[in-house]
Amino acid sequence: MTPLPPDFPNRGPAAPGTVYLVGAGPGDPELLTLRALRIIGEADVLVFDHLVSDAILSLVKPDAERIYAGKERGNHAVPQEDLNLMLVRLARQNLRVVRLKGGDPYTFGRGGEEVETLKEHGVPFEVVPGITAAAGVAAFAGIPLTHRNYAQACVFVTGHLKDGSMNLDWPGLARRRQTVIIYMGLHGLAHLCEQLIAHGLPADWPAAIVQQGTTPNQRTVTGTLATLPDLATVAGLKPPTLIIVGEVVRLKDKLSWFPEITA
């Protein structure tokens, strides 16, 4: 690894008894930060989500313990409250604990909930940010999140709330001159599009959905609010996906650069 400049602050190696919430990025291991790469390689125990790729898991030292704590739709390997306390117990065993999350720990990653528990129990922690899916996946799909001609704002929302609903601020989302990025919204795609149309966006408003962005299995389907649900169904898309709504989607064909699978 290239050393940091001598005048650059260095937080040092991973410390025993500390929990590191590390963002693994959207999938491509080369999108890891230098800090994430270092801390992952020093972990005594790795608690990881289902969105973390095998390529990133291979960076863990061979004798590190691996604990799967993935949360897929309708299948939570470890309930969140139990997971929070697990991190406390592992740290109290004087281990270097890495809580590895897809994307960024503080962007729909429940990192805030986990840190609250660590603080309550007096456990030292560090948060290592990661490239969130909105930034990474959109860039690999050839869709800029903002553009002077199309969107001066972008909004990140989750398509799956804690109670299982999709009760979002529809009037706030159905606005022009902005880009809306929806995480975990594949199963509610039809409802999402219906509500955006019902609250003021035209049926022909551009929209896209990207499957497994930044990976060799990346696939992008583009259409409109009226057509995207059927197009996604015909394409047989599977999670994880990211939905992008806004006029910036018009730039996809012009700005695409990453090779995608076509079927």
- Measured in whole angstroms, the distance separating CA 149 from the mean position of its chain's CA atoms is 27
Contact 41, 98 (CB under 8 A): no
Enumerate the H helices of 27-149 as residue ranges.
34-42, 54-57, 80-91, 111-120, 133-141
Distant-in-sequence, close-in-space partners of 32: CB < 8 Å, separation ≥ 6: 24, 25, 40, 56, 130
Catalytic residue among 28, 44, 49, 104: 49
Residue 191 backbone phi and psi in degrees, to 5 = -65, -40
* Token representation of residue 108: 């729909």
Output b/e per residue, 44-59; b: 16+ Cβ within 10 A: bbbbbbebbbeebbeb
Contact 35, 105 (CB under 8 A): no
Contact 24, 136 (CB under 8 A): no
| Rounded distance between C-alpha atoms, residue 48 and residue 39, angstroms | 14
Catalytic residue among 28, 44, 71, 252: 71
Our answer to whether residue 61 is catalytic in this structure is: no
| Rounded distance between C-alpha atoms, residue 130 and residue 136, angstroms | 10
Our answer to whether residue 49 is catalytic in this structure is: yes
Question: For the chain, what is the largest distance between any 2 Cα atoms, rounded to a whole number of angstroms?
Answer: 57
Determine if the peptide bond prior to 240 is cis (ω within 30°): yes
The catalytic residue positions are: 49, 71
